A = this chain, B = another copy of it.
Amino acid sequence: MVTIEKVEAGAAAARAMPRLPRRIKDDALRLLALRLRERAPELFEANEADVAAARASGASEAILTRLVYDGKKLEESIAMIDAVSRLPDPSGRTLESRRLDDGLVLRRVSCPIGLIALIFESRPDALVQMAALAVKSGDAIIVKGGREAERTNRALAAIVAAAGVDAGLPSGWLVQLETRSEVARLLALDGLVDLVIPRGSNEFVRHIMETSRIPVLGHAGGVCHVYVHGDADIAMAVAMVVDSKAQYPAACNAVEVLLVDEAAARSALPELVGALERADVALELCPRSMAVVGPGPTRAIKDDDDWSVEYLSLRMAVRVVGSLDEAIAHINRYGSGHTDAIVCSSGEAAARFMAEVDSTSVYRNASTRFADGYRYGLGAEVGISTGKLHARGPMGLEGLQTYKWLLEGEGHIVSEYSSGARRFIHEDLAVGKGGIHG
């Protein structure tokens, strides 16, 4: 099939998906888990071929680790599918209801967005996660994975798509694209595709945002901060900063800039810097922080004002700030609005930090690495949105829904209200019963 035919099949499936009752969607999830286990041998074979090819082409250990789809990853996928199947149906829920007048009742009801294109990087388990969320949300999806995982993704997509169809989903509910030129053609089909969610390098995400007229949700940068307040518990600050940076430095929620209040600089900076260096983190220090800790083999003076660098590696910037206000202003100016944390004892400082930092996730005394759909209890995530519209932060089932307004009358017409013959009563009704299916 050429790309336009695949996308049209997806759009047709998207029109049929909202009709599906929860039973069929949960059956599809169960069958999907069953088929993945049944056909594990061919999955593992495809994955071993991908891993061997990547190793032969000199891929790093980090890439190889992400690429592996083995028995452990399979069991994680199956546990995730099971968790998603047990979540309530996000679609067809009455979100608000109002009696406008006698016999005239308005409801706002959740429904799937439609056809969503998911363009992701090397991890093949992401495909299963996105497919499970799409089944439950009632959205049709187009998936395009990384080239390194080509064989694994092809096997996974075939198994997953067929399991869904066998359980009663419309054919076309999961469409796979395989080449970059297919993605380029897809991005021009703004009449058919409702949303693009890209995961990958910042350049790639920005390129998609700039070239397509289809709405894009995702993030083009994770410049996260930890701010150590003057009254912070230093041992807590050290553990949090090391975890935020070194636990998995390639993640978008890893911290890039450490801000230390001048009230804590003398007491906390030496321990912070020492612990980071023991975790192999190289540091770019502002002159004031360098003056406190002195030079060292992996310490350099940060000699520019570019505080928006996303290192994504064992490297970070350190800056002394004069106050809570200065910390908040720094984060709102140089950050990417992803995830930022304060370490402090004072409730007042925390409350101001949490109210005034304009990011998707704002933390008090917790590692920035918690910013993740699974850790938030959303079951899984299709990505993290740093936009302010629609979905913000980890996007799970709720981020995959929109809503429509349903109005049921008895022949009500507007001219009676314009003339003053009738007046609106606008009585809010209890919600929770009755969805889109009547």
Chain A residues proximal to chain B, CB less than 8 Å:
15, 18-19, 98, 100, 104, 106, 113-114, 194-195, 209-210, 213, 215, 217, 233, 236, 239-240, 242-244, 247-248, 332, 343, 347, 350-351, 354-356, 358-367, 369-371, 375-377, 387-390, 392-394, 402-415, 417-418, 424, 426, 428, 436-438
Contacts and interface: CB of A to CB of B under 8 A. Distances in A.
B402 A114 contact: no
A421 to B, nearest CB: 12
Contacts of A210: 213
> Among A100, A242, A387, A412, which residue has the most Cβ atoms of chain B within 10 A?
A412
Contacts of A350: 408, 438
A97 to B, nearest CB: 10
Given A215-B387, A377-B426, A389-B113, A408 B18 contact: no
Contact of A355 (B19, B243, B247, B366): B19
A240 B413 contact: yes
Interface residues of A: mostly helix, strand, loop or mixed? mixed
A224 to B, nearest CB: 13
A354 B389 contact: no
Which 9 pairs across A and B sit closest by C-beta, in order of nearness? A366-B409, A243-B413, A351-B438, A236-B411, A369-B414, A377-B426, A390-B390, A389-B390, A361-B405
A376 B405 contact: yes
A239 B360 contact: no
Contact of A98 (B98, B359, B369, B377): B377
A403 B410 CA distance: 37
Given A106-B376, A370-B100, A404-B360, A195 B409 contact: no
Contacts of A403: 392
A414 B243 contact: yes
A241 to B, nearest CB: 10
B404 A364 contact: no
The residue among A243, A244, A366, A437 with the most chain B CB atoms within 10 A of its own CB is A366
Given A365-B412, A388-B194, A100 B347 contact: no
Given A355-B438, A414-B247, A113 B239 contact: no
Contact of A376 (B100, B377, B438): B100
Contacts of A213: 209-210
B411 A240 contact: yes
A243 B360 CA distance: 45
A364 B106 contact: no
